């Protein structure tokens, strides 16, 4: 009986130490390396996260598949800026949605949310006609925490070093 009590105390102590953070249905993120503030919608129906990429151009360099694109968001002074990116294409996936099938490049980018930095995969798509330039999908959400769909903007869009 004594070992059961010790075991239960140890388990409850671990649970308290690993308290997950709570996200709202909408959050702000910082896209790195140049901090770019973007609005994100939490999308548990999407497997991979998606990012609004404009002026996309795929090409090869030294046998490596790459993509150039631009993203618009807010800088630290909350001014709208456009940042140019040139990333390696990790893979290409076919995304099925209400509008049919869509072939998209996948790139790895760093984001900050809730005071932590994450290295995540994003599909690139022109989301210019969408309200939110970023969708955070299941693969990203597994690292971030739990979702309260009744809340919005619960986490600060910053890195720990800021």
pLDDT at 3 (0 to 100): 38
pLDDT at 1 (0 to 100): 42
Whole-prediction pTM value? Answer: 0.83
pLDDT at 100 (0 to 100): 80
pLDDT at 10 (0 to 100): 43
pLDDT at 97 (0 to 100): 72
pLDDT at 161 (0 to 100): 63
Looking at per-residue pLDDT, the higher value among 16 and 113 belongs to: 113
- Judge contact between 145 and 22, C-beta under 8 A: yes
pLDDT at 162 (0 to 100): 59
Q: Strand 22-24 relative to strand 146-148: parallel, antiparallel, unpaired? A: parallel
Helix (H) or strand (E) holding 3: helix 2-17
**Structure token digits, residue 59:** 């090409």
Summarize pLDDT for 97-150 with one digit per residue, the tens.
777 888 999 999 999 999 999 999 999 999 878 889 999 999 999 989 899 999
The DSSP secondary-structure symbol of 143 reads H
pLDDT at 95 (0 to 100): 83
Summarize pLDDT for 33-68 with one digit per residue, the tens.
989 999 999 999 888 999 999 999 999 999 999 999
CATH of domain 22-148: 2.40.70.10
Cα 4 from chain centre: 41
The average pLDDT across 141-162 equals 89
Q: Is the pLDDT of residue 79 over 90?
A: yes
| Domains of the chain by residue range | 22-148
The residue count for the chain: 162
């Amino acid at each position: 009986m004594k070992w059961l009590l010790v075991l239960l105390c140890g388990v409850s102590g671990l649970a308290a130490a690993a308290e997950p953070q709570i996200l709202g249905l909408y959050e702000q993120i910082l896209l790195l390396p140049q901090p770019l503030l973007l609005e994100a919608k939490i999308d548990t129906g999407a497997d991979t996260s998606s990012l609004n990429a404009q002026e996309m151009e795929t090409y090869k360099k030294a046998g490596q598949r790459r993509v150039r694109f631009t993203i618009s968001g807010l800088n630290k002074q909350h001014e709208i800026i456009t940042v140019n990116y040139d990333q390696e294409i990790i893979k290409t996936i076919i995304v099925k949605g209400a509008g049919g099938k869509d072939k998209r490049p996948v790139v790895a980018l760093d984001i900050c949310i809730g005071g932590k930095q994450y290295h995540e995969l994003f599909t690139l798509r022109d989301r210019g006609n969408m309200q939110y330039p970023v969708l955070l999908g299941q693969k990203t959400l597994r690292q971030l925490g739990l979702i309260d769909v009744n809340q919005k903007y619960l986490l600060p869009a910053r890195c720990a070093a800021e």
